[in-house]
Chain A
């Protein structure tokens, strides 16, 4: 067990830190959260800056146009960007962390050549079409249907939680190509150009007021068969390959952000006098211990990935533990704001609390509620730990989807 970094790793960190020091002061102001075209322009400009300096696709293999760095360097990269408050991947999330790695692992040479460079350059933005109104935690029950018609698939159905759909050029789309009740064995992974006729986007507003999610309605949308990644009906495996990669270090930025939020919260407690309360101090101390432990767990996960090339189950542990800590941290901040936490406005700034991000604290608390839901709810994560790590009996699955459809009276109501 070794936590020391090598001279080469520190040199990489030093170069990156210098580069960030040069470029960050010249970045324009980040557009308002609801200005999606503005956010796209901002996020893709940042991606282009990374690309031009050799920092795009830091963990992508060289064949995929990436830098081919080690998992440890990737961790340092994320750590330094977060510490310097560099922009987050933003609208490039799906392209860089999902679709790109999937195309690298499972795409044809032509697909890699066509789709990877524009992602790294920030030229093309991707969104994700996985979940459906009736297929959330039970993703394998998805029903969006793709029927072969000559050299095309004709797709009809709907998708939900499609982040950044309004500004995306492509969608990684999971469709049913097998029989209705084929579950995992009848799913294919397609590349859907978002300007194809028959694609209708309807934005969803979250409880935090934000609009990054959308619903996607697909009405006889034609996609060439050559846009399929992996074999027909093999899309489930194709998806799982990349999901496991995403869980390794995806939360590094979030974790460091949480460390800063705790620090700001403590400053708030000191200024309001709440720090004199031992209960407040002990909550803060406990949160500090949890965040430190999560950082140690991250390093364990990265070390595992570096040794085996495949992230282990540690990502599931991390997601469960981190999202709960983060939720409690949000509650802690909000409780210290008192009635100033009733609005996401900087009331605190006018009240002698100076530069403290009261606005961020309120937004963060609300956003935090999604953490234990998105990317697999905590309940599903606990099933995964229980079944795949501890070997407990699996959850029962209804005999067939066809049987469930035959009993419409008991079928779940559409989510909308």
Chain B
């Protein structure tokens, strides 16, 4: 047992971090705020060339042949860079949808589960950017041509970098994969989305800490006051705990026999959502009034974290999954 990343895993993550710093600087990312199309096609292909989408695809199928452990490290970096677009969906679709692996095609995904209690219209992300939309259900995965879809653009999406559409009647589409694939996509999608959340949580910690060192009030940097210092410390602790959960979940998927991958994925997503949302909130708080301005990017991480917290399991559904592992189902008890 050695749960530390190997040298090549560290190198891989650093390589992706450099790619993101060059291709997806915050300035470049923010240029896409509040437009219908947020995917930079050239950047998407660069991610494809770097192997981001084909990372877990077998080498025989033209992929890199690595595991979810490596993917979780890579997706943490993508999350840190706040790259907009359906990163997880395109990664999952590699090998199933032509062009997903090399980034020449942008694939979106929506779960056919109800949008919320008693809410029927489906909320679909990134529709204008998509070449293919996949619909995930217990029965499997179906492909839909986004151009055929009757959808209404939502004028004021929470995250300015995640444009949304409302779809009144869920499309049927063409089946492309069965229930087994759907189940493992839900699991791996949860782990990779959780990894994006870790990147976001860590980015928020860095931004808040930098500001707390710089901003002076009462003649001292505000980070010298325990009230602020402890907010920052809690951000770091949350991130590290959730990071361990996410990486352990990824390794549990890769290495059969070390644990229950479905439970590990649910726990990782639950804690990573908590960390990303809470750190987004704390990052705004540390910035004080400036944190409430559009200019300071803290809100972007906070809002994106909220978006991701609705994907591949919500706090309630994930907690129920974990609870079910502790006792017979609620139905049996009542």
CB atoms of A1 and B209 under 8 A apart: no
SS of A interface (majority): helix
Contact B258 A292 (CB under 8 A): no
Name the CB-closest residue of B to A265. Answer: B326
Pick the contact of B209: A295, A317, A391 (CB < 8 A): A391
Q: Whole-angstrom distance from the CB of B87 to the nearest CB of chain A?
A: 21
Q: Given that A269-B327, A300-B3, A314-B240 are contacting pairs, would A285 and B257 also be in contact in the complex, using a CB cutoff of 8 Å?
A: no
Contact among B9, B247, B322 for A288, CB-based, below 8 A: B322
Closest Cβ neighbor of B316 among chain A residues: A282
* Docked-complex contact B247 and A296, CB < 8 angstroms: yes
Q: Is the CB of A297 within 8 A of B241?
A: yes
From A3, A278, A288, residue with most partner B Cβ within 10 Å: A3
Q: A296-B247, A306-B2 are known contacts. Are A286 and B270 too (CB-CB below 8 A)?
A: yes
A267 at interface by CB-CB < 8 Å: yes
Say yes or no: A5-B1 contact (C-beta < 8 A), given A285-B326, A292-B245, A394-B224: yes
By beta carbon, the residue of chain B nearest A269 is B327
- How many interface residues does B have (CB within 8 Å)? 61
Contact with A along B1-24 (1 / 0, CB 8 A): 111111001000000000000000
Q: Is A389 an interface residue (CB 8 A)?
A: yes
CB <8 Å contact, A304 and B4: yes
> Does A321 interact with chain B (Cβ within 8 Å)?
yes
The minimal Cβ–Cβ distance linking A183 to chain B, given in whole angstroms, is: 20
Cβ 8 A contact of B320, one of A9, A285, A292: A285
Q: Residue of A at shortest CB range from B334?
A: A276
The verdict on B325 contacting chain A, using a C-beta distance below 8 Å, is yes
Bound form: Cα–Cα A6–B1 in Å: 7
Expressed in whole angstroms, the Cα–Cα distance for A266 and B247 within the complex equals: 27
Can you name the residue of chain B whose Cβ is closest to the Cβ of A3? B258
Contact between chains at A317 and B330 (CB < 8 Å): no
Taking CB atoms, residues of chain B closer than 8 Å to A386 are 223, 229-230, 232-233
Q: Say if the beta carbon of B213 comes within 8 Å of chain A.
A: yes
Partner of B323, one of A5, A285, A393: A285
Contact B230 A379, beta carbon cutoff 8 Å = yes
Contact status A321-B237, CB under 8 Å:
yes
The distance in angstroms between the C-alpha atoms of A4 and B257, with both chains bound, is: 8
User: A405 an interface residue at 8 Å Cβ cutoff?
Assistant: no
B2 in contact with A392 (CB, 8 Å): no
> Which residue of A281, A303, A321 is within 8 Å of B241 (Cβ)?
A321
Chain B CB within 10 Å, residue with most, of A289, A320, A387: A289
Residues of A within 8 A of B224 (CB): 392-396
CB pair B4–A267 under 8 Å, yes or no, is no
Surface stretch bound by A, among B103-111, B131-139, B260-268: B260-268
Q: Is A88 on the interface with B (CB-CB < 8 A)? A: no
Question: Could you tell me the distance between the alpha carbons of A380 and B226 in the complex, rounded to whole angstroms?
Answer: 10
Knowing A281-B323, A307-B2 are in contact, say whether A1-B9 is a contact too (CB < 8 A).
yes
Interface of chain B residues 190 through 229 with chain A (CB within 8 A): 205, 209, 212-213, 220-221, 223-224, 226, 229
A276 and B333 contact, Cβ closer than 8 Å, known pairs A390-B209, A392-B224: yes
Least Cβ–Cβ distance between A104 and chain B, in angstroms:
25
A58 interface residue (CB < 8 Å to B):
no
Check B4–A1 contact: CB distance below 8 A: yes
Inside 8 A of A314's CB, which chain B residues have their CB? 240
B221 x A393 contact (CB < 8 A): yes
- Name the B residues within 8 Å of A300 (CB-CB): 3-4, 244
A285 in contact with B318 given A306-B2, A390-B209, A391-B209 (CB within 8 Å) = yes
Is B241 a contact of A288 with CB atoms below 8 Å? no
Instruction: Determine whether the beta carbon of A285 is less than 8 Å from that of B240.
Output: no
* B 252-293 to A, binary, CB cutoff 8 A, 1 in contact else 0: 100101110001101110110000000000000000000000
Pair A1/B237 contact, Cβ less than 8 Å: no
Partner of A281, one of B6, B236, B251, B319: B319
A34 within 8 A of B: no
A273 touches B333 (CB 8 A): yes
Shortest distance between the CB of A378 and any CB in chain B (Å): 9
- CB < 8 Å: which of A292, A317, A379 contacts B237? A317
Chain A nearest CB from B27 CB (Å) reads 25
* A276 touches which of B69, B205, B221, B330 (Cβ 8 Å): B330
User: Which residues from B are CB-within-8-Å of A3?
Assistant: 1, 3, 248, 251-252, 255, 258-259
Q: In the complex, which residues 351-410 of chain A have their Cβ closer than 8 Å to any Cβ of chain B?
A: 379, 381-383, 385-387, 389-396
Q: Is A72 on the interface with B (CB-CB < 8 A)?
A: yes
Q: How far is the CA of A275 from the CA of B247 in the complex (A)?
A: 31
Min distance, Cβ B194 to any Cβ of chain A, angstroms: 11
B323/A297 in contact, CB under 8 A: no
User: Is there an interface contact between B325 and A303, defined as CB atoms closer than 8 Å?
Assistant: no
Closest to B208 in A: A390
B229 A392 Cβ-Cβ under 8 A? yes
Pick the residue among B2, B69, B326 that contacts A266 (CB under 8 A).
Answer: B326
Of all chain B residues, which has the CB nearest A386?
B229
22 A-B pairs in the complex with CB atoms less than 8 angstroms apart: A2-B251, A262-B326, A267-B327, A270-B328, A278-B320, A282-B323, A289-B267, A289-B268, A289-B270, A289-B318, A292-B264, A293-B271, A296-B244, A300-B244, A314-B240, A321-B237, A383-B233, A385-B233, A385-B237, A386-B223, A391-B213, A396-B224
Shortest Cβ-Cβ A-B pairs, 5 listed: A285-B319, A289-B267, A285-B322, A393-B224, A285-B323
